[in-house]
Amino acid sequence: MARKIKWTEVAWKDLEEEADYIAKDSPHYAVVFVREARDASSSLAYFAERSRIVPELNNPSIRELFVRSYRMIYQVTEEAVYIIGFIHGARDMWELWKREERPYSEDVE
């Protein structure tokens, strides 16, 4: 059975910020980038466990899928996959999580 894919508000904002940055040089590539991210998230409906566990969090339910140079951070539950972050791979994810007090639990919505 397929899981529902749910983007959290903060993760969608992450993606929008990256797309806005790309759009400064090329609106076309920004649209393509967002499409790639959405397609990647959709693929998690059936294969959410295929990606690696986020090393900084060491929680088997929190995984990441790379989209170009970006980390799509997501949490897997029985019914859904919650996209909880979308950050550039060069950024310090743990510092970002602490600074922004981002949630990650089974109650993410």
- Residue at 65 is within a domain: yes
Predicted confidence at residue 11, as pLDDT, reads 93
- Residue at 46 is within a domain: yes
Confidence class for position 56, pLDDT limits 50, 70, 90:
confident
Domain holding 21, by residue range, is 4-100
Q: What is the mean pLDDT of residues 8-35?
A: 95
**CATH code, domain carrying 44:** 3.30.2310.20
Indicate whether 91 pLDDT > 50: yes
- Residue at 77 is within a domain: yes
Indicate whether 102 pLDDT > 80: no
**What does the DSSP assignment read for 47-66?**
HGGGSEE-TTT--TTEEEEE
**Residue for token pair 């170009």:** 68
Across 25-53, b (16+ Cβ under 10 Å) vs e yields eeeeebeebbeebeebbeebeeebeebee
Indicate whether 98 pLDDT > 60: yes
- Residue at 108 is within a domain: no
Domain count across the chain: 1
- Residue at 29 is within a domain: yes
Indicate whether 109 pLDDT > 50: no
